[in-house]
Amino acid sequence: MRHGDDGGDDGDVLRPFLTALSSMMLASLRQLDVQVPLTLMSNRVASDELTALLKFLDVHGPNIRQLRVNIRYEIPELLERAPNLEQLILATAVSNFVSGVFKVRDDHVHLRRIFVGLSPDQRVYQPETVQELDLSRLKVLEELRVQECHWPTSERDPKKEKNCWVPLSNKLLKQSVRLTDSKGVHWVPRLTTASAPRKAGKKGSGR
């Protein structure tokens, strides 16, 4: 199911749309792509739209396996409202990203992939909030793909020391999570191989 911006005033459509769907039986719902209208000059959701979205997720969240949304943190307890979610796509610039979106009280045992970002053409070297990521409660997470992630060309690349993605990759690997760029390439530590970036493989594949 998809709701997006077709050039009209989504704020006048989204609320009644989600409210109506909240009262329906949607047993086969598995995918949701919703573009929430954002308030002017910010990335915050108007309270009425947020209330409608929360009500919808309270009713249908357990059915959703794939969710794409254009906001970063204004959905309280997002993962707890979608306990069976397997893939999460956050269509927001990583420079605006807030790591608290992944906070959960209990372990999430279905989410395998997270995609964040808008464009690989943007180069972000110091996104402090990304460094604070704690994905330890996402027990089966395999991949965090960030569109704005760019790897050094080699271990001797002079830009490596300024690259924030390498230490984050090393941190996430300890949680068995691979940080990948827009092409699905992850960083390989120096002690593992002389080559640097490598295409991501599945857990247990030996690649």
pLDDT at 134: 82
pTM: 0.78
Rounded Cα distance between 33 and 37, Å, is 13
Instruction: Single out the residue of 44, 100, 52 nearest to residue 76, CA to CA.
Output: 100
**Which tokens is 12 given?**
């006048």
Name 114's bridge partners.
Answer: 88, 144
DSSP 23-63: TS--TT--EEEE-PPBPTTSS-B-HHHHHHHHHHHHHHGGG
Judged by phi (left if over 0) then psi (alpha if -120 to 50, else beta), residue 184 lies in left
Give the residue-averaged pLDDT of 92-100: 71
Rounded to whole angstroms, the maximal C-alpha distance in the chain is: 58
The DSSP 8-state label assigned to residue 67 in this structure reads E
The yes-or-no verdict on residue 125 having pLDDT over 70 is no
The yes-or-no verdict on residue 34 having pLDDT over 90 is no
Query: Per residue in 46-64, pLDDT tens?
Result: 677 778 888 999 999 999 9
| C-alpha dihedral sign at 104, 61, 116, 8 | negative
**Which tokens is 48 given?**
């009425």
Instruction: State the alpha helices, DSSP H only, in the chain.
Output: 11-22, 47-60, 78-81, 128-131, 165-173
The larger pLDDT score, comparing residue 165 to residue 114, is at: 114
The yes-or-no verdict on residue 44 having pLDDT over 80 is no
Give the residue-averaged pLDDT of 92-109: 80
- Boundaries of every domain in the chain: 2-199
The yes-or-no verdict on residue 128 having pLDDT over 50 is yes
Query: Per residue in 130-146, pLDDT tens?
Result: 777 788 899 999 999 99
Rounded Cα distance between 36 and 59, Å, is 18
The DSSP 8-state label assigned to residue 86 in this structure reads -
**Which tokens is 56 given?**
């919808």
**What's the pLDDT band for 40 if we cut at 50, 70, 90?**
very low
The yes-or-no verdict on residue 122 having pLDDT over 60 is yes
Average pLDDT, the chain: 78
pLDDT at 16: 83
> How many CA atoms are closer than 13 Å to the CA of 97, on its beta-carbon side?
27
- Does domain 2-199 correspond to CATH entry 3.80.10? yes
Query: Per residue in 145-184, pLDDT tens?
Result: 998 888 887 777 756 667 788 888 988 998 899 999 999 9
